[in-house]
Amino acid sequence: MHFKTLESHRGFLVYVGRTYPALVPYLRGIHLTFYSWRPWRKSDGWKMTEVEIKHALGEGLGDLSQEDKKAPERVHWVPRLKNDVEALQLFTSSDQLPKRTIRLAESQAVSTVYTFGDASGSGFGGSTYDRGEVSYYSGHWNDSQSDQSSNHRELSNLILDLENKFNQGVLENTEVFVFTDNSTVEAAFFKGTSKSRLLFELILRLQFVHLHSGMMLHFVHVSGKRMIAQGTDGLSRGVRNEGVMKGENFLEYIPYI
């Protein structure tokens, strides 16, 4: 890739990322490609650790003079660049620029939505508190989804719920708190990416809904014991008479209320 052209595009996207932070995690492949010519870089573009550098020096695979290298005319793209470019193409595919919600409009009906979601090997479920009303759902995975990792099932469940709400048009001008007992899912939302191709595709769907729905979205990790007491853990196993489903106060299970 031509270094100066990449530098120009990279600078433009950095400024775009200041307006749309959801794009920032997907600039990593561009950054790694941009710096791939620098010494002591691995094939994926990331810096080598001190231990790896010492090992390379010991094996005669490099010398300290490499640090004086200047940027070449062309640089090698790193493997991650392909996925990141696909993500950027998806986010910029609409004819009109999406409006990013940074503060809810007080002139409209502002709503705070609390959602718990959980998934097991064979089933999934979730419960929602919205404008004083409690709703819930549960179901069973098909065979192909049951064979996926627990992280994939957990994230799939939460994304499907948000996509359904998005398609119903109920997310605009809302602040949504999603509670999960899976720390990997919470981290995936904040990182915006994953080394797993399947999880990466799910995160793209999540970020797309976040960007285009007009909502403010938060992912919050809670303990498994809270999930059990609240009742959503039971929903993933087909049990519909535990916790808030039997009439307990939903708001008592929100960690900061």
Cβ contact 33:10 at 8 Å:
no
Is the pLDDT reported for residue 151 higher than 70? yes
Cβ contact 161:202 at 8 Å:
no
Mean pLDDT value across residues 185-206: 83
Please list the alpha-helical segments (H only) found in the chain.
3-19, 28-34, 50-58, 80-91, 143-146, 150-167, 183-191, 197-212, 224-230, 232-235
Which has the minimum average pLDDT: 28-37, 105-114, 184-193? 105-114
Please state, in angstroms and rounded to a whole number, the distance separating the CA atoms of residues 70 and 62.
Answer: 16
Fold of 111-253: Nucleotidyltransferase; domain 5 (3.30.420)
Is the pLDDT reported for residue 72 higher than 70? yes
Q: What angle do CA 151, 152, 158 make, to 5 degrees?
A: 90
Closest CA to 128 of 251, 257, 218: 251
Strand pairing class (174-180; 216-221): parallel
Element counts in the chain: helices (H) and strands (E): 10, 5
Is pTM beyond 0.85 here? no
Please state, in angstroms and rounded to a whole number, the distance separating the CA atoms of residues 219 and 46.
Answer: 28
Task: Map out the domains of the chain as residue ranges.
Answer: 3-91, 111-253
Q: What angle do CA 160, 164, 166 make, to 5 degrees?
A: 115
DSSP 49: P
pLDDT in tens, 153-189: 999 999 999 999 999 988 988 999 999 999 988 888 8
